[in-house]
Amino acid sequence: MSQTVQAVANDGMRPSGGSILVVRDLYRYFGGIKAANGVNLDVGRREIAGLIGPNGSGKSTLFSLVAGTVKPDRGQIRFDGHEIAGMSAHRIARLGLARTFQIPAMFDNMTVTENLLAGAAQGHWQGAHERAAETLGLLKLVHVADNRASDLSGGQQKLLEFGRVIMRQASLILLDEVTAGVHPNIRKIILEAIARLRERGISFLIIEHDMEMVRNVCDRIIVMDSGRVVTSGSFNDIVRNSEVMQTYLGRPQ
């Protein structure tokens, strides 16, 4: 790791008191693999933060650690004022955190509508049927509402995964490559939905490979490599930092 990168290694943190998510010195090894190797990052309230970095740099693991799906070896995670490191996933979710999975995690034997309702089954049941209908409309899934989730196309599954998260009525949403490999039409639907949710004051942390998408939706970009945050800044800062682009994205832009 070069000097420059070391010097900015704390840049995932914003010196702001208004952070909804604060991660400090977070570690998780899988055998010899250092998936999280001292992660530090913040996500501000109402911020849309993009998380980029090469494959295997630990982005999805960070999501699983924050969401409680994977337990950290050590480190702190503070979400909306609660210390959540090591807490069970369902308790973290009930505090207002929602996440998608990189590989769509459908409830295969349930219909599209039932998948959405399952997102509201815990805690947000008031008006759930109306909200499910609304979400079907927003995501243009009305025509497959009664189909089984396993019968959907890959892109539609990504939409449904996103729709379930909307049903959670969360304050922070973690999106793991929701637009990867989907048709541009579906990508557009997702972008519009993110814009509408942001108006409601929801914060986002988004793992994304598509730089166009990152440029369009993210307020700030956080770069990960080898289980650490190596730098963060505006899209232009990151793109101008050609060393980061070459080292961590493998393609000068």
Partner 1 sequence: MKSRLASLVLLIAAIVVLALLPALVNNYWLRIATGALMWAGLACSWNMLGGYAGYINFGQSAFFGLGAYTSALLMGDPLGLPFFATIPAGIVVTAIFAIIIGAPTLRLRGAYFAIATWAFAEVLTQFVNVVGFTGGIGGLNLPPFLDERFFYFTMFAAAVLTYLVTWALFERSRFGLKVKALRDHEPAAEAMGINTALVKLQTFVLSAVTASVFGSIFAYWVTFINPKSVFGGDITDQMVVMVLLGGLGSLWGPAIGGVGLFVINRLLWMNWGDTAFYIAILGAAIVLVVLFLPNGIAGLFAKRPAESATVLDKAVDKLVGNGEGGHS
- 57 part of the interface to ligand ADP, by CB under 6 A: yes
Among 14, 59, 158, 168, binds ligand ADP (CB under 6 A): 59
Binding residues (CB under 5 A) for Mg ion: these are: 60, 102
Least distance to partner 1, CB of residue 218, Å: 22
58 binds, among Mg ion, ligand ADP, partner 1, none (CB under 5 to 8 A by kind): ligand ADP
- Only one of the segments 50-58, 111-119, 138-146, 188-196 lies at the binding site for ligand ADP (rule: CB under 6 A); that segment is 50-58
Nearest to partner 1 of 10, 122 (CB atom)? 122
Nearest residue (CB) to ligand ADP, 60 versus 115 = 60
Residue 176 bridge partners (DSSP): 207
Residues contributing to the site for ligand ADP (CB under 6 A): 30, 33, 35, 53, 55-61
